[in-house]
Amino acid sequence: MTSSVASHAPMSEYQWAYSLVDSSRVSTFLISILLIVYGSFRSLNMEQEAKQKQNERNGQNQESNVQTLDTLQALCLPLGASISLLIMFFFFDSMQVLFAICTAIIATIALAFLLLPMCQYIIRPCSDGTKISFGICGRFTAGELVSFSLSITIVCIWVLTGHWILMDAMGMGLCVAFIAFVRLPSLKVSTLLLTGLLIYDVFWVFFSSYIFNANVMVKVATRPADNPVGIVAKQFHLGGMVREAPKLSLPGKLVFPSMHNNGHFSMLGLGDIVMPGLLLCFVLRYDAYKKSLLSSAETGVPPPNQLNKISYFHCSLIGYFLGLLTATVSAEVFKAAQPALLYLVPFTLLPLFVMAYLKGDLRRMWSEPFITSPPSKHVEV
């Protein structure tokens, strides 16, 4: 919430406009878009590397860690998210230590994945890429060990300090890992998933207070958890550590405090980055697939016209920016939490549908976009 200053009466009328260029809002816009772009290209790179390895092994499929959602999973995901939200709402006090520990473990792995390319680039002159065996734990490269060690260090410092920058770093890792390892196979599954999550977001933000006498989404997102270090210290009667261990705000959102307005911060849930990010990752993969078809001489695809030069990824990314901008304006105008997916889903899906229809790709993208149909053999007389 943005606090108004009484001595600046003329500014208060247009306070929402000034808040759009606040450092917290600008940071939210930049970081969310960068995470989607980076996660999408990371996923595309992983897919291309997997295809290259498959070709080197003469077409033999290898085990993949990527999870592709089907129609049933897309329909059940909003229901599962609602159940998880209710569990955290009703049983948070008794399960908060478990939530904090599980979050720390998952965030450690995700953050290591985020830091891996940077660590590989830094130690490339000192390492030849050979894997080191750790028995039953597996084999790891030097870059993977460095990224995992750095990730553990960041999470441990977060547990001891509870600093928002470290929490945001963990949240960024979760976003990139989810976008990279979860894929949408078609526009049909994407539409079902995002529509269900839009209904989920709207219900728990706008209507949950009428049933549960509290805004369930906001309360769960902003509720801090007891520090496991403090609880352990209390069990062993270490009073000094109890006073120093802060409460932990779990990394289910990105938080950016304002540099110019003390006490004001901008908050965006990770789901508002990840779920539209899955759609943008899908269209980026489809853009790459179409490009590979156009570059193949056997397909007989005609040269692209002006409309075909505009990629689906850029169209959806612009839609995401406009949707996030609309959600931000709504939050400032109404001075209340807004379900971001209410704005993000229409602004990303509708332009995508229009462009796919105009390009003639809608039918293919809807059902089986990545299956190459064999060229028809016609004999001209």
The active-site residue, picked from 201, 226, 287, 361, is 201
**CA count, 13 A, side-chain hemisphere, 369:** 22
Angstrom distance (rounded) from CA 100 to CA 248: 8
Tell me the C-alpha to C-alpha distance, in Å, between residue 34 and each of 27, 67, 321.
10, 23, 11
Residue partners of 360: CB distance under 8 A and separation at least 6: none
The helix (run of H) or strand (run of E) holding residue 40 is helix 23-56
Eight-class DSSP state of 225: B
d(CA 287, CA 175): 22
Cα separation of 221 and 168, whole Å? 14
**Could you tell me whether strands 265-269 and 253-257 are parallel, antiparallel, or unpaired per DSSP bridges?**
antiparallel
* C-beta separation of 197 from 63 below 8 A: no
Q: Is 272 noted as a catalytic residue in this protein?
A: yes
Active site residue 128: no
Backbone dihedral angles phi then psi of residue 165, each to the nearest 5 degrees: -65, -45
Reported residue count of the chain is 381
Residues belonging to the active site: 201, 272
